[in-house]
Structure 1
């Protein structure tokens, strides 16, 4: 399957025209953004229009990629890269290793992970540096910390290579993921098999 680089390469059924809010069905809307371009990941070609529903305040693209076009668009998305282990134990002491240890100290205290290699002071340092704390919180998407002995489930719709699922699992959640792209799912499955975690369940949407 070839990645698309322009809207002209999308299949004939590549765009769905909605005309109404996909959440509540209302056609009462106002233009939110016009001529949007994917400048962050560069995988969604062309220009896009986003609308705001006047009934439920949802924002949505119209037209939007169809279910047939989404796998083509996501071929060059970062979720097709093999996930990196951000908690690996570097053998040589270095500034990079120190950052990992401090970050793991914050992750353990804030999210209940149990990364063996950590420095507890990382939690307090992160409180002093909001930008650093925000980066670490985005990794876990601001999950709440589970109480001792608590069991909770998490469904990641559009799980990609499973990076977020792995972090949520490390924080004690039973994780489930689904994605329309089989290539991304294969990466996620490979990660789950390497981890040996039975709670890492995946399926295609």
Structure 2
């Protein structure tokens, strides 16, 4: 098996992982920080104030399987994304998939550069959070942008190679992706928006 199906799977990643065992969110950081170049391209520079990032490790039965980074303009915490402030160790999916007003852009798979700033940062956090180095094959990620009342939230999800051994659609047929097409690897200049909720 490969990670291809996971990179294309619509809907909540947390919900799909939870089907395989005890699901946990390990919060690594939620603080103001500078946006990286891809984040600035998709979110734009903030008109005022700072930006916020939230970084977590997603675990199933205690095993770390995904490193995720969310980024947004801090000013939106007083508006559309204010619930993020008290989220803590709960999955971000609670905010994204229970509100029909939330839209999601096209999923963008991407292979991270082994020496790029995002992967180097992940390696440092992964070692501190798990006590073991991130495997060399942990390079495949996907990213998308969520929109609520005009406010944008970008999420990057980087997969451990062991995720490939799990089925993203256990016991079901793979749904047809009508609203969330998976585009080729590349920058998201003209997002195609669709409902965040997707067929299970």
Shared fold, TM over 0.5: no
Higher percent of residues as helix: 1
Shorter chain as normaliser: what TM range?
Answer: under 0.3
Larger radius of gyration: 1
What TM-score do you get using the length of structure 2 for normalisation?
Answer: 0.24
